[in-house]
């Protein structure tokens, strides 16, 4: 299932959802990424100033990829309701 995310909080929520689907703890995902559990927590929380490399490492550890495409015309509230 594709998830549309337009903010760091929405990206974090999507990563949390996939991590939980794979039955991983934050610590286990951190081990796969070569990062600390606290880093995973900040990423999932949508913390500002998260390094792009950290996001890419998390995506790879969860067997996900980032797709860039033109925005849909979906209202912001409809996207928020997904989370």
Q: Does some domain include residue 43?
A: yes
| 39 inside domain | yes
Contact (Cβ atoms closer than 8 angstroms) between residue 29 and residue 62:
yes
pLDDT tens digits, 44-68: 999 988 999 999 999 999 999 999 9
Domain count of the chain? 1
End-to-end CA distance of the chain: 14
- Whether 12 is in a domain gets the answer yes
Give the model's pLDDT for residue 48: 87
The whole-angstrom separation of Cα 19 and Cα 13 is 10
CA 31 to chain CA mean position, Å: 16
The size of the chain, in residues, is 83
User: CATH number for the domain including 30?
Assistant: 1.10.260.40
Domain that holds residue 37: 8-82
Q: Which residue has the higher pLDDT, 29 or 6?
A: 29
Q: Is 1 among the domain residues?
A: no
Q: Would residue 3 count as lying in a domain?
A: no
């Amino acid at each position: 299932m594709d998830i549309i995310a337009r903010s760091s909080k929405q990206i974090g929520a999507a990563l949390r959802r996939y991590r939980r689907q794979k039955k991983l703890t934050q610590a286990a995902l951190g081990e796969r990424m070569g990062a600390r559990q606290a880093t995973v927590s900040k990423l999932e929380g949508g913390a500002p100033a998260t390094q792009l490399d950290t996001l890419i490492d998390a995506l790879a550890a969860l067997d996900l990829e980032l797709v860039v495409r033109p925005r849909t015309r979906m209202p912001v509230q409809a996207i928020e309701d997904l989370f």
